[in-house]
Amino acid sequence: MNDFFLYLGLGFFIFKWIHFLAGITWIGVLYYFNFIQGEWFKEIEDQTKGVAIRTLVPRALWWFRWGAMFTFLSGVAMLLPQGHPDFSLTYNVYIYTGALMGTLMFLNVWLIIWPAQKIVIASSESVAAGGEADPTAAAALGRAGLASRTNTLFSIPMLFFMGAARGLGADSTSQSALIFSTIIILLIEANAIKGKMGPITSVKGVIHCGLLLTLVLYCSHCYI
């Protein structure tokens, strides 16, 4: 039995290491897209932007989407062994709040951002080859941008709650807090699918909204 828990703990650690490594890759590229590349694209001419879309963006998107995939899969693997000794601290409402946002972020990458960016890249390649631009490319770029901004918004409270489960040492078990947080998070995700940029258009705006969302969700766990 002791050997079983030893191997379980080792497996949990390996998945956690993969989760950290893949997560840093994923979120790092997400921040690059939103804080660096997006702002740079506003300043360069169309020809340079087209070259970047055809050469730089596909490479960054490869690391982006597979970082998201391995972060998600390793996170699921850590959530499965609920008999782990750290269960009372790690697998609580804080973790599930962060995991919900992480899951939505993963789905945004694979179901919205990547499909939309493929349209944008294909359109740019068509233009470079002397063909016509895809008339749906602008709308696809808008969908990808909104989902990407939403992921950036979610990343701030997600990282807070992943750390809070252990760092704050609180074993939050309030079902009301979890329900409230879930409703707020799903409303924001609904906006990512069918809504508009709103206050998250700018880098400052998305950071401020992310910090505000963190505060609102944390206060809900403390007082609801």
- The Cα–Cα gap between 137 and 202 comes to 21
Residue 89: its pLDDT value, please?
40
Mean pLDDT, rounded, for 181-187: 95
- The Cα–Cα gap between 197 and 204 comes to 13
- In degrees, rounded to 5, the angle at the alpha carbon of residue 149 between the alpha carbons of residues 146 and 153 is 135
Residue 109: its pLDDT value, please?
98
Tokens standing for residue 102? 């992480």
The CA distances from residue 181 to 191, 216, 221, in Å, are 16, 9, 8
* Least confident window among 38-42, 49-53, 86-90: 86-90
User: Domain tally for the chain?
Assistant: 1
Residues 97-136 have pLDDT tens digits of 999 999 999 999 999 999 999 999 999 999 999 999 999 9
Mean pLDDT, rounded, for 133-158: 96
- The Cα–Cα gap between 155 and 151 comes to 6
DSSP readout, 38-63? HHHHTTS-HHHHHHHHHHHHHHHHHH
Residue 221: its pLDDT value, please?
80
- In terms of Cα–Cα distance, which of 85, 87, 90, 111 is closest to 165? 90
Check pLDDT > 50 for residue 90: no
Amino acid at 208: H
Residues 42-83 have pLDDT tens digits of 998 988 989 999 999 999 999 999 999 999 999 999 887 654
Question: Are 129 and 104 in contact, with CB atoms under 8 Å apart?
Answer: no
DSSP readout, 8-20? HHHHHHHHHHHHH
Q: Mean pLDDT in the chain? A: 88
Which is higher by pLDDT, 96 or 72? 72
What residue numbers bound the domain in which 59 lies? 2-223
- The Cα–Cα gap between 64 and 166 comes to 27
DSSP conformational letter for 133:
P
